[in-house]
Structure formats: structure tokens, C-alpha cells
Amino acid sequence: MKNLCIIGNGIIGMMSSLLLEKYFNNIYLIVDKESNKKSNKTQRYFSINLLSKYMFLKTDIWQDLISNGTQSYNKIVTWDEDIREDLIFQSSSISYDNLGYIISESKIKDLLINKIDQATKIKKIDIKDIGKIDIYDEITKLRLNSEEIIDCDLLLNSDIKISQFLEVKLPDKTIVDYEQKALVMNLNMSSAVTSNTAYQRFSKGHIQGLLPISDDMYNLIWSAENPFIDDLKLKNPKMILEILNGNLSRYIGKIKTLSSFATFPLSGFHVKKYFYKSAAVIGGVAHSVHPMAGLGLNMGIQDIFLLNQALLENNGNSKDMDFILSTYDEYCSYENSKIFNTINFLKKFYSKNALPSTVKSSSISLFNRNNFIKNKVIENATGIDVLKRRSRDQYCYPNYNE
């Protein structure tokens, strides 16, 4: 195929350009240089699952990602204040060393940028240099302000803000308002953390997820109803520290100090179709879910894997792009609908007064004792289930050496 145009130079846009490079002569990556100059004071961390690790291996940056203090975890402990029994998930249940890895957003981006700068096929174009994008059935025309026109076999949209600026059509979607906000901060501990364990606490609509990011620090994502988070932002750090120690110290020990925090509203959506004519959507343009399972970025990376599979199945033949995009739509609609619906169900399950505590306790107890179902949940959350069904790579199986 000749040309691929990708809107957005976030993690998904950059990974797409590197992983799909083998199918195209040229890749045009549309970037917002002004946005890149804006500094983000709050460092973000992502929990990278096993499918995402597989894709980072394919981009050839995995060793660099883990070479400088990246934390892994092989256990997740979850508890609900209304239920006596804890839920524990372990990587050994599916014969892997780890369930996931915690990596900073800046580290991922820096390595991808370096990789792209070395790629001869990938060309960056600033949004200010684009006059118009015309999407037709079989081709997308990229019209530059210089009057140059670039014909692209496929337009891949990974950035909502840039596509809105360029007036590129966005697909219809199913929207869920979680009526919550999330607060993100780092917790400095008085003693060393259990670095191989992630935690999640549920209590009357509150969800507190904890990822170990160093020997004495956790990254906290705390989601709760909007009025509570708005009120929490007004409290002084000592009061917030007291609340968190009351909530969490029984499991993680005493929290010594808190970092500055950021808040953002929570909403979910899932597109009704993944392509339109010669354009497709991917990552954050296609879906958004509640952060309780830490799957947001992983879903986007899974999209890249599924698009790659659709291209492989058609031998990268651009003459049948409609078939490729239809296959991609089928794969993503199925896989991401499962995740979207499951996360929304769990959000309701753990919401305040959604179910009597006796019903929740019985459900958790039954789930805890069914190893088959529990292992299937682990395989789904880590992406191993998708890898097994969509590929035959040895990475999917227990005898693979991580």
C-alpha cells in the first residue's frame, strides 16, 4: 500500500505508525506541535497489561521501557468494605510471571518519539500546515496549505482534539455518564511498599486503585461522585492524608505525605462503527471506560493489534481495504463491547446501594471459589485471551519465557 495518514501523535498514534509501517510506503503523522509544548505538571502512570507488553516488544522499545526502574506486579488485592472476603488475582494462575507493569506516560512517549525520529517512512505534519481532509470511499485526500495533495489508502484517527480542529467527521457512539470524577495523586509511604502487589478498595461508590510506582510510593486513582471530589479538593492535605490512612493503611501501611493532585471528569463511550469510507478510528476516539480496571490505554493498544491482524489476514492488500476495515470493525466491536459492558456492570455492582451486601458477599464468595471463571477473568484483563484467539504466537502460552 502507498500511504497511511494518522491523526494524532499520542501513544496510540505513534505506536500505530511504527507497527503498521511495514504495510505502507509512507506514513503521514499529523501532530499538534503547540500542544506538545504545554507541560503537564502531574506525571501520569499506566498499568500495561500482557497484550500491551507484547505490542511494545513488537515496537522494539520494551527493553528500554523496563531498563530504568519500571515496576511490575503479579498480584491484585481488591476489597469491599461491606464484604468480608477479599478478591485476590495472581499471575501464577495463568502461568505468567506478572499481571502487568507500571510505566510513566512520559517514558513511553519519549521512547516512541525517538523511534519515530529514526524511521525513514514516517513523516510528521503539523495541523497548521493542513488546509483540509477529504474522505472518499476508496481514498482520503490530505490537502496541505502549500497546495500539495497527498492521496492516502487509509486515514486512522487517534486524536479527538486534532480531528475536531481539522473538522474530520467523528462516529456516532453510545455514551455513559458515570457521574463521577477521578482524583490522581502519589502517596509517599513511611516504609517500603509491597512492590509486586496492586490494590483496589471499594466503598459505597468510592473506588481507590493503587499501583506501586517505586520502593516507597503508590500512584492513587480515586473515583467518587462529583460533589465528593469537589469537596475533597477544598480540604487541606492533612485532612486528605487522614482520610486515606483511615481507608488504606490496613493493607498498604502508613502514608507519610501526598503529592499534588489532578482531577478529571469520568464518562464512558463506545463507537457504533469503527470505520467510515476510507477512514477508521482507534484508541481514545473509539472508546473510553471507567478507570477502575486500568484498561483505557490497553484497549487502544489492543485496537492496533486487531488492525494489524486484519491487515495480516488480507496480506496487506490495499485493493480490498473495505474488507480490511470491515474485519477490523468486527474484531474491535466484539472485543471492546465486552470490556465496555463488563466495566459498566462492575461500576454498578460496586456502586452505593446498588445491591444488598448479602447478595454481593455471596457473589464474591462463589466467584472466588470458581478457579476456571476467575482465570478467564485474568486472561481477559491481561489481554491473553484476545492474543490466544486472534494469533498463534508462542507468547500466549505458559511455556513462553517472559
Note the pLDDT of residue 7: 98
- In the sheet with 130-135, reading across from the earlier edge strand, the strands are 130-135, 140-144, 149-152
Q: What are φ and ψ of residue 352, in 5° steps?
A: -60, 125
- Does 150 fall in a domain? yes
Residue 400, pLDDT score: 52
Q: Where are the alpha helices (DSSP H) in 38-126?
A: 50-59, 62-66, 105-118
Provide the residue-wise pLDDT of the chain in tens; the chain has 402 residues.
699 999 999 999 999 999 999 999 999 999 998 876 555 556 789 999 999 999 999 999 999 998 876 889 999 999 998 888 899 999 999 999 999 999 999 999 999 999 999 999 999 999 999 999 999 999 999 999 999 999 999 999 999 999 999 999 999 999 999 999 999 999 999 998 877 999 999 998 899 999 999 889 999 999 999 999 999 999 999 999 999 999 999 999 999 999 989 999 999 999 999 999 999 999 999 999 999 989 999 999 999 999 999 998 877 555 588 899 999 999 999 999 999 999 998 888 877 666 677 877 888 888 888 999 999 999 999 999 999 999 877 776 665 544
Could you list the beta-strand ranges (E) of 14-136. 26-31, 45-48, 71-73, 75-80, 87-90, 100-104, 122-126, 130-135
Distances (CA, A) of 162 to 1, 9, 13, 269, 391: 25, 10, 12, 19, 33
C-alpha cell at 277: 469510507
pTM to 2 decimal places? 0.93
CA dihedral 358, 223, 246, 361 (to 10 degrees): 10
* Cell output for 332: 474491535
The C-alpha angle with vertex 108 and arms to 105 and 111, in degrees rounded to 5, equals: 145
Pairing of strands 26-31, 122-126: parallel
Give domain status of residue 212, yes or no. Answer: no
Helices and strands, counts by H and E, the chain: 13, 21
DSSP structure class, residue 253: -
pLDDT of residue 40: 53
Q: Is 258 within the bounds of a domain?
A: no
| Contact criterion met (CB below 8 Å) for 292 and 246 | no
Could you tell me if residue 141 is inside a domain? Answer: yes
CB 75 within 8 A of CB 99: yes
pLDDT at position 136 = 96
Q: Note the pLDDT of residue 38.
A: 56
Strands 149-152 and 140-144: antiparallel
Is residue 287 in a domain? yes
> CATH number of the domain that 140 lies in?
3.50.50.60
Tell me whether residue 239 is in a domain.
Answer: no
Residues 86 and 227 sit within 8 Å (Cβ to Cβ): no
| Number of Cβ within a 10 Å radius of residue 236 | 8
150 is in which domain, residue-wise?
Answer: 3-173+267-396
Domain count for the chain: 1
pLDDT at 73: 94
Q: Is residue 197 part of a domain?
A: no
Indicate whether 320 belongs to any domain.
Answer: yes
Contact at 8 Å (CB) between 158 and 12? yes
pLDDT at residue number 320: 83
